[in-house]
Structure 1
Amino acid sequence: MMEVLLGSAVIVVLVVGMSAGLLLLRRRLLPDTGLDVSVNDAVHLAARRGATLLGVLHDAGIGIPAACGGSGTCGLCRVTVTGAGAGTPQATERGVLSASDRRAHVRLACQTRLRGDCAVRVPDDILSAGGGVVCTVASTRMLAPLIREIVVDLPQEHPTEFRAGDFMQVTAPPYRLDFRSLDVPTAFADAWEISGWREMRVASDAEVTRAYSLASRPEDAGRAVFNIRLAVPPAGREDTVPPGIVSSWLFSLKAGDAITLSGPFGDFHVQPTGRDMVFVGGGVGMAPLRAMIHQELGHGTQRHIRYFYGARSAADLFYSDEFTALSTRHDNFGWTPALSEPAPGDRWHGATGFVHEVLWAEMSRHPAPEECEYYLCGPPVMISAVLATLERLGVEPLFIFYDDFGA
């Protein structure tokens, strides 16, 4: 027995010693500090080996946008990275970035883990933006079971002229939230009870920043308008997947509450051409498209504009009266909402089917669909389906502009 115990002790000592030796050797050969990240050849940041590039930039106050919590699905945190220290693109990046993006050294900052020194290029407006500004919530209202409109009053000294398609960064403070405390209108109460969303709880011990597109119209001068979709766990995974950190906090806001914003930023804008414009949206992809349409009509454009918007049922369709009114006032604007699964009580007489199917049915009768410009915004699956439809219509990629929400 003594020999067995002595042998076991020797093995334990050897294993512990070898582990300690390997850790010491790794630390000597691969130190975890002292990496240099050069940003726009103007700022140098110290970083630790293994840190994500997005985390390094955010810790330095450089507000690269991100909407998916670091999962690599939204594609917003695109930066240009050179240097061997950034490694090679991950599989998640190859699913979001095109071949031309990768050839141009474009990376997703949230998926780039640092192995050594590297150089990064970010938009100049993001680098010079500085910290956020504290604003005041003017109003909130629920537009659909999981979508809330939040209107924010901006300080007088903050720029209030936005370009349609811009987004802003929203920073949520540490907080705890029991969803039973949320004010849910009667119209949506049954959906919340049936889905179990009332039972959710969420907590955050640190500040978290996310990017949200602006839905502001010209008449909203001095204010920032957002359409926020509450990120809820997939059905059956409520115990393992938490609700969205920032979207949950935003859903809890009331008029008079403080909110920290930075921006605006963005490069998803209407192109200054004379081509007909076709907008295709879904979910909170509504926000930038709403801003663009109001901007163009408000400026008196003579370009023809068509807007296709997809929702599941009538409960998920919002701003419908607003766009119907616009189509009545402007001969050059048409509005086609489509429901993929209208409920029996919806009494729906409009277009039925997925939005890309309705787009095909109508644009295949257009005399020259390949001559139009297309602006897309919505979930990645919708974007993929619409892109395939546009390829069938013979539309060249240079006439397609899109932003997907992969949260």
Structure 2
Amino acid sequence: MCYRIALNFEDGITRFVDCKKGEKVLDAAYRNKINLPMDCSDGVCGTCKCRAESGAYDMGDDYIEDALTEDEAEEGLVLTCQMIPSSDCVISVPTTSQACKTGQQSFATTVTRVAPHHDAAVVLELAVADATTAPAFLPGQYVNIEVPGSGSHRSYSFSSAPGAAQLGFLIKKIPDGLMSSWLARAKAGDQLTLTGPMGSFYLRDGDGPLLFLAGGTGLAPFLSMLEVLARAGSQRQIHLIYGVTRDLDLVLVDELAAYADRLPNFTHATVVADAASDHPRKGWVTQHMPEDMLAAGAVDVYLCGPPPMVDAVRHYLDENGVKPASFHYEKFTPNEPLRASA
């Protein structure tokens, strides 16, 4: 039996290692050629101190309090030289991947589907060349996708769940954009190289209510999260607000409706900013957030959208004195259009 351990480094890079039953995290990392910080490896110096974001584990009694105090342990800090997982875990490492002599991983993939949604977005689906080396990631994370022939890449969040046979992405269409221009002529069988995963925006463990706020193609990571929650049979209260500029920007709404059938406590609402729209809910996401859910104080808020939306939500929470149990957000900025050469 092995447990999957996600190591999240300060530079945003995530590496996964398989930890054998009874094996210490530090030893599993070394076995995978990842040099986590350490000095004594005996629970004495505290050099290997990290934070366990999720998962079950045993720290034993073979370390001294100078290395890890009782208060630190209660806050989720761990010594990787003593930590023995008993489930999959996510660990934040307080240094860069480069300092640990590791880095990003690359994966060869094949295009299986390109589905445009008007002029708003494109659904891109990829198959991994070797199923045994499919990228592991946390629901909500992203990868860099190399644009063939350009020497450049673009960053996109997974819309599919970890372990899925197909990797899915929801990509905003940008007139004359580098990736958008390539996708316009892409076909099944084309090759793409992915590098990652990366990002600190991912679904955390918990049993409290969840408020998901998605702006435009910022819906993608929430589709990944919802699939993970549905597979786990989650009973958490979940409400998603999906805000867009125009009616045509509302894509994959049918998928959200399908999750309402699979998740007993899931509800969602769509909001269109265009004042000329006939949509039943117009305006901004902040005008449609459930006050009762926020007032309870136990809600975990996840937000992904363009910078103005993220800033508006943060200002709304501060101005109204709302303090969620946790607040996780990610901004995305559309890439510039492809420029003609002189």
TM-score (norm 2): 0.64
**TM-superposed deviation, 1:342:** 6.1
Q: Which residue of 1 aligns with 2:123?
A: 149
Cα RMSD over matched residues?
2.8
Q: Summarize the alignment of residues 253-292 of structure 1 with structure 2, pairs less than 5 Å apart.
A: 253-292=186-225
Given candidates 106, 109, 113, the residue that maps to 1:132 is 106
Q: Which residue of 1 aligns with 2:133?
A: 158
Given candidates 153, 166, 169, the residue that maps to 1:226 is 169
The answer to whether structure 1 residue 355 and structure 2 residue 285 are counterparts is: yes
The answer to whether structure 1 residue 380 and structure 2 residue 307 are counterparts is: yes
Structure 2 distance, partners of 1:127, 1:156, is: 26
Given candidates 115, 138, 158, the residue that maps to 1:214 is 158
- Which amino acid counterpart does residue 226 of structure 1 have in structure 2? F
Structure 1 distance, partners of 2:316, 2:240, is: 16
The answer to whether structure 1 residue 390 and structure 2 residue 323 are counterparts is: no
- Which amino acid counterpart does residue 332 of structure 1 have in structure 2? N
Structure 1 distance, partners of 2:255, 2:181, is: 27
Structure 2 distance, partners of 1:246, 1:129, is: 25
Cα pair 1:129 1:262 within 8 Å, conserved: no
Given candidates 313, 327, 340, the residue that maps to 1:400 is 327
Cα pair 2:230 2:262 within 8 Å, conserved: no
Structure 2 distance, partners of 1:126, 1:135, is: 27
Cα pair 2:298 2:324 within 8 Å, conserved: no
**TM-superposed deviation, 1:294:** 1.7
User: Could you list the per-position Cα deviations for residues 163-205 of structure 1 after superposition, in whole angstroms to 9, with x for gaps in the alignment?
Assistant: 201211111132xxxxxxxxxxxxxxxxxxxxxxxxxxxxxxx
**TM-superposed deviation, 1:281:** 0.6
Q: Summarize the alignment of residues 238-257 of structure 1 with structure 2, pairs less than 5 Å apart.
A: 243-257=176-190
Given candidates 247, 250, 254, the residue that maps to 1:314 is 247
User: Could you list the per-position Cα deviations for residues 360-392 of structure 1 after superposition, in whole angstroms to 9, with x for gaps in the alignment?
Assistant: xxx224473422110000100000111122224
How has the CA–CA distance of structure 1 residues 127 and 374 changed in structure 2, closer, same or farther, with 3 Å as cutoff?
farther
User: Could you list the per-position Cα deviations for residues 198-251 of structure 1 after superposition, in whole angstroms to 9, with x for gaps in the alignment?
Assistant: xxxxxxxx4002221100036x7122111111333xxxxxxxxxx432343234
Structure 2 distance, partners of 1:274, 1:392, is: 27
User: Could you list the per-position Cα deviations for residues 293-351 of structure 1 after superposition, in whole angstroms to 9, with x for gaps in the alignment?
Assistant: 2211221112110000101232110111121232244331011111111656xx53x32
**TM-superposed deviation, 1:263:** 2.0
Q: Summarize the alignment of residues 2-401 of structure 1 with structure 2, pairs less than 5 Å apart.
A: 122-123=96-97, 128-129=102-103, 132-154=106-128, 155-174=130-149, 206-217=150-161, 221-232=164-175, 243-341=176-274, 347-348=278-279, 350-359=280-289, 363-366=290-293, 368-396=295-323, 399-401=326-328
Cα pair 2:213 2:241 within 8 Å, conserved: yes
Structure 2 distance, partners of 1:125, 1:295, is: 32
Structure 1 distance, partners of 2:183, 2:100, is: 23
- Which amino acid counterpart does residue 297 of structure 2 have in structure 1? E
Structure 1 distance, partners of 2:100, 2:222, is: 22
Cα pair 2:256 2:268 within 8 Å, conserved: yes
Structure 1 distance, partners of 2:136, 2:108, is: 17
**TM-superposed deviation, 1:268:** 1.2
- Which amino acid counterpart does residue 96 of structure 2 have in structure 1? V
Larger Rg over CA atoms: 1
Structure 1 distance, partners of 2:293, 2:323, is: 16
Structure 2 distance, partners of 1:355, 1:339, is: 9
User: Could you list the per-position Cα deviations for residues 267-309 of structure 1 after superposition, in whole angstroms to 9, with x for gaps in the alignment?
Assistant: 2112212221000011111111111122112211121100001
- Which amino acid counterpart does residue 258 of structure 2 have in structure 1? A
- Which amino acid counterpart does residue 159 of structure 1 have in structure 2? A
Structure 1 distance, partners of 2:281, 2:101, is: 45
Structure 2 distance, partners of 1:231, 1:313, is: 15
Which one has the bigger helix percentage?
1
Cα pair 1:312 1:342 within 8 Å, conserved: no
Cα pair 1:308 1:336 within 8 Å, conserved: yes
Which one has the bigger strand percentage?
2
How has the CA–CA distance of structure 1 residues 289 and 126 changed in structure 2, closer, same or farther, with 3 Å as cutoff?
farther
TM-score (norm 1): 0.54
Mean CA deviation greater in 321-330 or 331-340: 321-330
How has the CA–CA distance of structure 1 residues 127 and 296 changed in structure 2, closer, same or farther, with 3 Å as cutoff?
farther
What is the SS of the residue equivalent to 2:181?
A: helix
- Which amino acid counterpart does residue 310 of structure 2 have in structure 1? I
Q: Which residue of 1 aligns with 2:74?
A: none
What is the SS of the residue equivalent to 1:215?
A: coil
5+ unaligned residues in a row in structure 1: which ranges?
Answer: 1-38, 41-120, 175-205, 233-242
